[in-house]
């Protein structure tokens, strides 16, 4: 049983509406997952929902439902959302599932027995919205708390705490010795700065059940439930443990009753997350794992946040991008293309409808769509759709792009990979313009030259399908089908030059990206 390449996304709060930010993160993870599978690696790709906590309890009560019924109603909406994005996740976790709750409790029991927790009274200012105590560091210069914290109340509460101080130095050393642990570098520096300039406060890991009961009960004290983050982060290891991953199961002290799916996934290779939850993933999560005796994830890939038209997206002002509406109008691949091509993993991004339409027209319809359509239409018209003998005029250009794309994908440089792939699209479009096959077709003495040109164009289209598979799976499949090839272009190894054989009959060309009225 070889270890799978294990990639996760943040699990979304069930009570929000799926939006552009959620979609972006899931697509980033999906492109990485698909590319690794295409390289021949076995992959385990996990995403899911974060369902406990005060906010869910409050909304459920307001809607006259139990929190569980509320979550059960919303989970299918989220599952349909990710299906519409074309995700290839292998599992979908809900933190209300027994398999997850059992593992959270098992970890709590183990760490409690080993003396990692203590109980103490804390008096302070509490943000109900953020479900967290605030400190003086959270105050604005005038002493008030930012309105984004919502109502802030003074609260005295006894809770369980996780001892963190002993973990500070090894974590600093670890992040320094492992430059790729937190990516990009700016986020790594942010974590190191935080760890070096602050004394880590112990982490409160419970909430009293009489104030909040929508959470996982603490196994050693019925008066408490688990704090949302100690619950949510565990999803990354609870699912492998439940699927009988030996490393995960040992670390969380849990033996699944039925070993029907022996998985080897832990440690995770990549956690894809947004910048706002960096501290939870690069400070608390590694410490939790170290305390459990589990190997740490290999990499935390941190993406930026999307705005719309230069402003924060907000339902109240209507300044939102609804991914499903965009997909319904333009197709899933146009959406996947825009978010990956527009925004590199790291900085913040800005969605504009004009920017989206401009990329659709220039890069998808006029560049890629036109290349495939005219290449295959000419092959159909001039050679009855039958592939001529192999010619290698564009082989070196294609091979260079294939090698570069692979290397960029291996480094999760998704935006650059798309740029590289488009350099081949541009090269092939220029080749059409320079060789002018429509003129060659008029001159019978140029038949051999026309054969060469048509072969090179069709072969570039085939290679593009393979390269595009992780990003634009529907389009890649359509190109394959139009080329008359069976199966999916899902094996990177097929990107070598010369895959199209002389005498092969292609299918029917059709527009990949229909032009839209302005
Ligand atoms: N439930 C927690 C995560 C727990 S992970 C163990 C959570 N949920 S969330 O629904 O608020 O956010 C889910 C992911 O979406 C986070 O990684 C977050 O950064 C990302 N995004 C939310 N809004 C975003 C944008 N506007 N732009 C890009 N990503 C954003 O946090």
At 273, the pLDDT band (50, 70, 90 cuts) reads very high
- The Å distance, Cα 345 to ligand 1 centre, comes to 14
CA dist., res. 302 & res. 184, Å (int): 7
- Mutational pocket test of ligand 1: of 15, 16, 50, the residue with most ligand atoms within 8 Å of the beta carbon: 50
Report whether residue 277 contacts ligand 1, using a CB cutoff of 6 Å.
Answer: yes
pLDDT digits (tens, 9 = 90+) for 456-478: 999 999 999 999 999 999 999 99
Report whether residue 233 contacts ligand 1, using a CB cutoff of 6 Å.
Answer: yes
Does the pLDDT at position 259 exceed 80?
A: no
CA dist., res. 354 & res. 309, Å (int): 10
- The Å distance, Cα 21 to ligand 1 centre, comes to 7
Mean pLDDT of the chain: 95
Does the pLDDT at position 261 exceed 80?
A: no
What residue has token string 């949510």?
232
Helix-helix angle 447-468:370-383, to 10 degrees: 140
- The Å distance, Cα 47 to ligand 1 centre, comes to 12
At 258, the pLDDT band (50, 70, 90 cuts) reads low
Report whether residue 161 contacts ligand 1, using a CB cutoff of 6 Å.
Answer: no
- Strands in 206-208's sheet, in edge-to-edge order, are 206-208, 221-226, 217-218
Run of H or E including 176: helix 168-177
At 335, the pLDDT band (50, 70, 90 cuts) reads very high
Does the pLDDT at position 239 exceed 80?
A: yes
Nearest CA to ligand 1 atom 30: 21
The residues with which 270 forms a beta bridge, in sequence order, are 7
Count of H-run helices and E-run strands, the chain: 20, 16
Report whether residue 313 contacts ligand 1, using a CB cutoff of 6 Å.
Answer: yes
Report whether residue 208 contacts ligand 1, using a CB cutoff of 6 Å.
Answer: no
Average confidence (pLDDT) over 422-450 = 98
Note the residue count of the chain: 518
pLDDT of residue 180: 97
pLDDT of residue 443: 98
Strands, DSSP E only, in 163-297?
182-183, 203-204, 206-208, 217-218, 221-226, 270-274
Which ranges constitute the DSSP H helices of 266-331?
278-279, 285-292, 323-330
Which ranges constitute the DSSP H helices of 365-489?
370-383, 395-410, 414-435, 437-440, 447-468, 473-482
Lowest-pLDDT choice from 74-78, 131-135, 236-240: 131-135
Report whether residue 13 contacts ligand 1, using a CB cutoff of 6 Å.
Answer: yes
CA of 13, closest atom in ligand 1: 10
pLDDT of residue 389: 98
Report whether residue 369 contacts ligand 1, using a CB cutoff of 6 Å.
Answer: no
CA distances from 323 to 286, 306, 345 (A): 33, 13, 19
């Amino acid at each position: 049983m070889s270890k799978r390449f294990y990639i996760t996304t943040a699990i979304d709060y069930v009570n929000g509406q799926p939006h552009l930010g959620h979609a972006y993160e899931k697509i980033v993870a999906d492109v990485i997952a698909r590319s690794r599978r295409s390289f021949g690696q076995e992959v385990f790709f996990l995403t899911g929902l974060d369902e406990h906590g005060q906010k869910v309890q409050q909304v459920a009560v307001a809607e006259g439902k139990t929190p569980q019924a509320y979550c059960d109603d919303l989970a299918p909406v989220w599952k349909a959302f990710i299906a519409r994005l074309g995700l290839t996740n292998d599992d979908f976790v809900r933190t209300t599932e027994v398999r997850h709750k059992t593992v959270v409790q098992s970890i709590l029991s183990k760490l409690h027995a080993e003396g990692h927790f203590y109980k103490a009274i804390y008096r302070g200012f509490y943000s109900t919205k953020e479900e967290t105590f605030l400190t003086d560091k959270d105050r604005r210069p005038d002493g008030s708390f930012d309105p984004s914290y919502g109502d802030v109340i003074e609260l005295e509460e006894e809770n369980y705490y996780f001892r963190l101080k002993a973990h500070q130095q090894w974590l600093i050393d670890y992040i320094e010795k492992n430059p790729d642990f937190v990516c990009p570098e700016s986020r790594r520096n942010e974590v190191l700065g935080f760890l070096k300039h602050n004394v880590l406060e112990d982490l409160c890991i419970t909430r009293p059940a009489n104030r909040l009961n929508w959470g996982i009960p603490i196994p050693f004290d019925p008066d408490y439930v688990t704090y949302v983050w100690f619950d949510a982060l565990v999803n990354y290891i609870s699912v492998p443990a439940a699927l009988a991953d030996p490393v995960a199961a040992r670390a969380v002290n849990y033996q699944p009753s039925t070993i029907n799916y022996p998985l080897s996934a832990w440690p995770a290779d990549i956690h894809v997350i947004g910048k706002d939850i960096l501290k939870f993933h690069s400070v608390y999560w590694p410490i939790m794992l170290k305390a459990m005796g589990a190997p740490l994830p290999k990499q935390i890939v941190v993406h930026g946040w999307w705005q719309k038209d230069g402003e924060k997206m907000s339902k109240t002002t209507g300044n939102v991008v609804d991914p499903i509406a965009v997909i319904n109008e333009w197709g899933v691949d146009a959406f996947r293309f825009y978010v990956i091509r527009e925004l590199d993993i790291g900085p913040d991004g800005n969605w504009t409808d004009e920017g989206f339409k401009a990329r659709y027209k220039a890069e998808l319809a006029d560049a890629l769509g036109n290349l495939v359509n005219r290449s295959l239409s000419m092959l159909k018209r001039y050679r009855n759709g039958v592939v001529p003998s192999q010619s290698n005029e564009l082989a070196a250009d294609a091979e260079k792009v294939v090698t570069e794309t692979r290397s960029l994908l291996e480094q999760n440089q998704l935006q650059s990979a798309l740029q590289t792939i488009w350099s081949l699209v541009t090269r092939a479009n220029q080749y059409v313009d320079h060789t002018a096959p429509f003129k060659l077709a008029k001159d019978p003495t140029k038949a051999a030259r026309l054969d060469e040109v048509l072969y090179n164009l069709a072969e570039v289209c085939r290679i593009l399908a393979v390269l595009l598979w992780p990003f634009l799976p529907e389009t890649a499949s359509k190109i394959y089908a139009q080329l008359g090839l069976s199966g999916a272009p899902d094996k990177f190894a097929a990107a070598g030059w010369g895959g199209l054989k002389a005498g092969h009959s292609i299918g029917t060309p059709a527009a990949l990206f229909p032009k839209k009225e302005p």
